């Protein structure tokens, strides 16, 4: 698959939020939109976790036949290592890079970061392709988050019955949007960019 195909599949047909449900806790909080710095921190966190998980899977777990323990390796080794490194680097959070690394530290403990890393490493990609897929999945999450935020604002202004206004209408809209995203065939997207 080409790199453009990997990006399109990661953003649309394998959308982290709408297809897999990763980061649903972040999306359910009523916020206006993801700040560009938060989206950049999310991309950095997924990039680092995908790289480490891919390296652990390829050079440690697969040769030893222990691939089924990749979740345990991520939880016990990779996540604490990344959390320690980001905390050590962000000791001075008054600087812009320190506040950015503090946001990376917050994003690191998210199920979204783990889910994206797991999908990117299990896809059979090379290291570069897995990293590209993880960054594209972060962008896809940001796009889906923005679309759902827009839908939430439109629903607040609509004249729906009171019992249907907030949760039910948003849940129905998110379900329909998820059907649209999951209906985009990965093979079709991959075939378009050959």
Using 50, 70 and 90 to split pLDDT, how confident is the model at 136?
very high
Look at residue 134 in the predicted model and tell me its pLDDT. 92
Please answer whether residues 40 and 88 qualify as being in contact, where contact means their C-beta atoms are separated by less than 8 angstroms. Answer: no
* 21-46 pLDDT tens trace: 887 766 666 555 566 667 777 788 88
Considering only CA atoms, which of 175, 176, 170 is closest in space to residue 155? 170
CA–CA distance, 82 with 49 (Å, rounded to integer): 7
33: region left, alpha or beta (phi > 0 left; psi from -120 to 50 alpha) = beta
Q: What is the dihedral of CA 92, 94, 96, 101, to 10 degrees?
A: 40
Q: In sequence order, what are the residues at sequence separation of 6 or more whose Cβ sits closer than 8 angstroms to the Cβ of residue 46? A: 112, 113, 116, 117, 120, 134, 135, 137, 138
Q: Which helix (H) or strand (E) holds 113?
A: helix 111-122
Cβ atoms of residues 23 and 110 within 8 Å? yes
The predicted-structure confidence for 7-17, as pLDDT tens digits, reads as follows 888 888 888 88
Q: 132 vs 5, 45, 146, 167, CA distance in Å?
A: 11, 13, 21, 34
Is 26 within 8 Å of 112 (Cβ atoms)?
A: yes
92 has pLDDT over 70 = no
* pTM greater than the 0.85 cutoff: no
Tell me which of 111 and 116 has the higher pLDDT.
116
For residue 160, how far is the Cα from the chain centroid?
Answer: 32
> Residue 135's Cα: distance from chain center in Å?
8
For the chain, percent of residues with pLDDT exceeding 90:
16
Q: Is the Cβ–Cβ distance between 83 and 49 less than 8 Å?
A: no
What is residue 164's DSSP assignment? G
């Amino acid at each position: 698959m080409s790199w453009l195909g990997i990006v399109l599949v990661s953003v649309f047909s394998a959308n982290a939020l709408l297809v897999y449900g990763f980061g649903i806790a972040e999306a359910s909080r009523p916020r206006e939109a993801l700040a560009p710095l938060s989206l950049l921190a999310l991309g950095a966190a997924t990039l680092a976790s995908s790289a480490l998980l891919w390296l652990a899977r390829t050079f440690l777990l697969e040769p030893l036949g222990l691939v089924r323990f990749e979740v345990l390796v991520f939880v016990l080794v990779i996540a604490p290592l990344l959390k320690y490194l980001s905390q050590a680097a962000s000791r001075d959070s008054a600087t812009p890079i320190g506040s950015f690394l503090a946001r990376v530290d917050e994003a690191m403990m998210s199920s979204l970061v783990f889910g994206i890393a797991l999908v990117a490493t299990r896809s059979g990609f090379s290291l570069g392709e897995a990293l590209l897929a993880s960054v594209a999945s972060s962008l896809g999450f940001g796009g889906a988050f923005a679309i759902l935020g827009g839908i939430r604002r439109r629903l607040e202004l609509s004249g729906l019955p009171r019992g249907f206004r907030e949760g039910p209408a948003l849940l129905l809209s998110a379900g329909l949007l998820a059907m649209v995203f999951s209906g985009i065939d990965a093979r079709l997207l991959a075939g378009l960019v050959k």
